[in-house]
Amino acid sequence: MNNEIVAGILDTRTGEVIETTNNASAKTRLFLRVRDELNVEHGAGAFMVFEFNSMGGSGNLNYVRRNMQTTEQSALKHVELLKVRYNVANTRQSLDCAKSALNLTKRVRDECLALYSGDGNADKWDLVNDTFSTALDECQDNVELLNSQLTRQLKRLSNLESNNQ
């Protein structure tokens, strides 16, 4: 996910993205540039920072939309496209982790079951199998949920990209 944009500077008068970064630690530099340089030169609120890996304020497109000075509906299309790309990359990363967890759980289950595969171990084998069954179901549900989420995000991304051309 290192190539996805995590933050940028937005001209609230036009919707133009004037600078972006894919480095989360560089967000502070963007905030300082907006505060100390751009809004001093162009007036308060002329520029703002948007960020995608944040829970509050500038990470929310509705917040960004409310702070826009232009009423042009298409002004945030580029930021929205960047946000969806970020979400797709984030979901892909989560899906990879969930698949790894599922595979690890299966492998550990199989190794544990192999310990009790002999005669006289049926109760132990059943206990281990039942215990791992719940964990495997949860892992599988998580993979399916993330796959579904990724499918929706990719469809949204495709729609946005086709509308931006």
What pLDDT digit, counting tens, does each position of 42-93 carry? 999 999 999 997 766 666 888 888 889 998 878 889 999 999 999 999 999 9
Backbone φ and ψ of 3, nearest 5°? -90, -10
Segments of the chain assigned to CATH 1.10.287? 81-163
Residues in contact with 35: Cβ distance below 8 Å, sequence separation at least 6, in sequence order: none
CB 109 within 8 A of CB 128: yes
Residue range 146-160, pLDDT digits in tens: 999 999 999 999 999
14 burial via Cβ count (<10 Å: 0-12, 13-18, 19+) = middle
* Poorest-pLDDT segment among 24-28, 51-55, 78-82, 103-107: 51-55
**Distance separating alpha carbons of residues 152 and 147, to the nearest angstrom:** 9
Name which CATH class applies to 81-163: mainly alpha
Whether residue 103 has pLDDT greater than 80: yes
Residue 142 CA to its chain's centroid (Å): 15
pTM of the prediction?
A: 0.85
